[in-house]
Structure 1
Amino acid sequence: MEAPNPRPPQHAEPGIDAFSGAVRSLMDALYAIAPLDTWLLTRVEGRDWIILHALDQGGTIAPGIVLDWHGSCCIHMACGDAPSIAPDTSGIPVYRDAPVNHQLPVGAYVGFPLHDRDGNLFGTLCGVHPEPVDPQLHDRYTALKALADTAGHLLALQRENDILDRERQATALLPGSDPVSGTLNRRGWDMALEGEEERCQRNGQPCAVVLAEVTDLEAINREAGIGQGDRLLAELGPILQGLLLPGDRVARIAGNRFGLLLVDTGPDALERRHAEIRTALRDHHPAIETGRALRHPGEGLQHTPHLAERDLLRQRHTR
């Protein structure tokens, strides 16, 4: 392969976290060993192939972009149907004809699967070049595989750090509590969303929001007094807290509305947990409507409550 174009030394940017800095250094090392146009660290979630970190000479691929996993080259590599290193993809139909070529031409390919601590596929570390490259790329396998293993270890360490970070945040959020329900208040909710969004951007883990609204609270306050309405909210708070898993958060975000932040929750888990939450609440008080939504990597967690509200309104109109 030709010597890589020199890249300026990467200095730590103000505010960049240690994990992102380590990944950036790893990407630079990959480029130094195999100067392919694009190197990607990705996560797989269902059909979504989420770009977490990118070193792209063309500037067309950036973190947060979501591509189709089934249309990628990496899916064939991860399944063992195609090699980890392909200096010329023209002789490998699954790479040559992969739909991703329409967005990211793949004349040469390098890829390695990344697994979580349970052995499940987390994502991939891959590099692509628009044209074929020197077959000597095969000689770089050992060094490239070592860097892929390093990426896996970094992700595992960051995963453990996220758990500790959520525990620290739980303590920091204690002042932001609602005196009536005992859950977080709106300020605590906003802080929880902000902190989890940072973790989602680093690791790409799925996340979801469930909203629960007491639809007759205004009538209760009017007919039986505010004290009766507050007693109902005080009863619902512990019920919701009892439904949380480690890292989840619940807050009273409006007078008659609660929000639940569900971490590490994908589509199937969201449907199951949403049903559990709705059933538990309605068993206690039937006049409760709920809505749910998954975080979309391209929009971020701040937008997810709006999607959940739309779902809540749809549920209300169809009930």
Structure 2
Amino acid sequence: MHRDDGFEPLEPFASLRDVCSSALTIAREGSPLDNWMAARLEGDALVVEAVDAAGDGAPRVAERLPWRGTIGHRMAVGDCPYVVADVGAVEAYADRPCVARFGMRAYAGVPLVDHHGRLFGVLCGWSGRALALDVAAHEQRMVLAARVLSTYLALRARLDAVERRAEQAETASRTDPLTGLANRRGWDAAIEGGQRKLVREEASAAVVVADVDGLKHVNDNVGHEAGDALLVQVAQVLARLVRPSDTVARLGGDEFALLLDGVHRSQRNEVLSRLREALHAAGLQVSLGIACAERGHSLRRAFAVADARMLQDKAVRHAQGEIPMLCPMPTRHTA
């Protein structure tokens, strides 16, 4: 975005790789070293994040270098100098495989630590020839660059923690704590998303309402723990029957709902039969109703129709004696 005062707004670093590249710019300012690298430690490997190097043999971004074969490893675990005119003159460095591979002679490096003080990686520069380096100047620039990286890591970690907590809170607010299914808030979000899909695509969806028969009787005569176990069992059966693109929710009490993506009205009976068979095989008595919606139709209207059909199913099963008469018919609320 252009500003009339001639100043352009500063864009924040978009990634660790971006901030590593900027750290290299700081570190190499005024240095005779012509190869620079920033890398992070990942297990037994040093993963290259940024490179500013000459020659075909330079490390590549995303390349994984054996950590124990680097000067950085010896520098991090031992009392070794950060800046040397010739690595061949430093016994701890001379035999490192990276020295031969990259033709290192003059070297300057600094360990990178995260906000907990744990080793995170290495920032280093080198030349293919021995050089008389200004130790103080190199250490000053590298420490500054390392602080930039460490500060970024600290801020990124804090932001990640805040985002994780927000995601966890959002997930919890949409999750039924007993069954682990979506709750009514999660269901409403799924319906809204499904409705948007119906508007923009030639799509269809089915809504199923399921009501557990006899839950009050179980709670009153066996106990709420048994009633909760019954609800969990129903939830597990329903969850096993759906795809990742579908939603199963417990709307409250003994009522469940399913939003089934891509189900056409010609498939309603097949879907209901599959649900009934699975619930019956698990020894569960559940009344069911289904309705479908296609492009331009309302999923909330489909829910109301499915809810009415579930009540019809329950009434028929009451009349046929499939549901004991001591189990009362439910009172309904709107979706």
TM-score (norm 2): 0.45
TM-score (norm 1): 0.47
- Between structure 1 and structure 2, the one with the greater Rg is 2
